Structure 1
Amino acid sequence: MAAIGVIDYGMGNLHSLGKALERVSGAGRVIISYDPDELLKCDRLVLPGVGGVRECMKELERLELNELVAEAARTKPLLGICLGMQVMLEWSDENGGVPALGLFPGRVSRFPDPPEDGSPNRLKVPHMGWNRVRQTRPHPLWEGIPDDAWFYFVHSYHAVPANPEHVIGSTDYGQTFASALARDNIAAFQFHPEKSQNHGMLLLANFTQWDPS
């Protein structure tokens, strides 16, 4: 029976993500674990996350899950969500600079603080709530999802990929930023599919069926 592994390093929205994957996985099993051996037996893996890249990398390395993610990136479908997307880049600017997993060339930068002009329309940091995602190029995970669909975001930092070919979705929040990345068997999304109602559930369902080989 096919299995989806959710990587548990103590910083993810594991309960709601696990339930969402169970709803869309059909006969597949969803395994939430921090055991690299158990996770490597799964057919596909999800790297979730909330918080900061420094703590994320610290915990991944402590649990030897950074090596697991690197192995999965070579061998099976791998999905990064929110912080799980950010940590897939090479570098984050937070805390004076933090090296990350390097699965995508590029860095993670903070949104600029809004000007203190008292304007009621000024954009706040973090970027929190619903926003549109523009599909910048086709990808199997977009199957059945309309362009400019709404997804739910919570983040203060955003990806700045070095290779524009890796960007499959972008979003506007004071500036245009990359909200979805993909290459080979890896895909990553800044928004939370598990909190994004029908479109998010369809994206997760597409991931459970994705065959990048």
Structure 2
Amino acid sequence: MSLEWFDRVSGELQDSLESICDKYDQNGGMSIERGAKHPRIEFYTEGEDIDREYFCTLFFDPHNEEFYMEAFEPDLGQISKVVLTDIEDIVDAVHERFHDYVNGDSVEEDLIDEEYVDEGLYMEEEELRDLDDRGEIQLLEEIDVDWETPEVTAFYQENDVEVTYQFGIVQETGDGVLKRVNRIWTDDDDMIRDETNFIFSKEEASTIIAMIASHMDSLTEMDYQGEV
């Protein structure tokens, strides 16, 4: 498995996007996560008056040495993998996602607005709110968050699962947000992405930290058997 193709594309992608799109050149950027099982490039917009917002994620499969994006298939109710064979296809795909985002028709937002449950089935937001009323699911409302850290890998099992965390601050309230992203790879090498968010106050944070610290010795390491 080689990351040579990933590194070459990463090095050329930013300049290529800036050269074909003035709007992206003004506010667009990208971050690279090379240490994940499937390295990824995440694209975002930000500026002096614009908070950072991610609109596209490009993944790299080092085993097959290919780039791909996720696409939601409404008829099938699942996420499919769209393989991009060369740098031109990648630039065109990111460019298209960028303008979808600018026009308010972002594929990334469509995937986030729905919660992935039960191995490929989706539930509508109203159904999720009903579950939330019973304390089963907590939804993150549309709020402005300043992400203070990048995604940090907390657990990784090759060819199976990756769990990452990211910490942010809610702009309006000053509360903390902990985002957990769980990526699971199926036997067909498709990826299932599940995201949960936990909001807490400064007073709660100190209590949570104290509770975890006092019970660390009681925890055991994760013995992953295909479920998280």
TM-score, with length taken from structure 2: 0.23
Please identify which structure carries the higher strand content.
2
Q: Using structure 1 for the length normalisation, give the TM-score.
A: 0.24
Between structure 1 and structure 2, the one with the greater Rg is 2
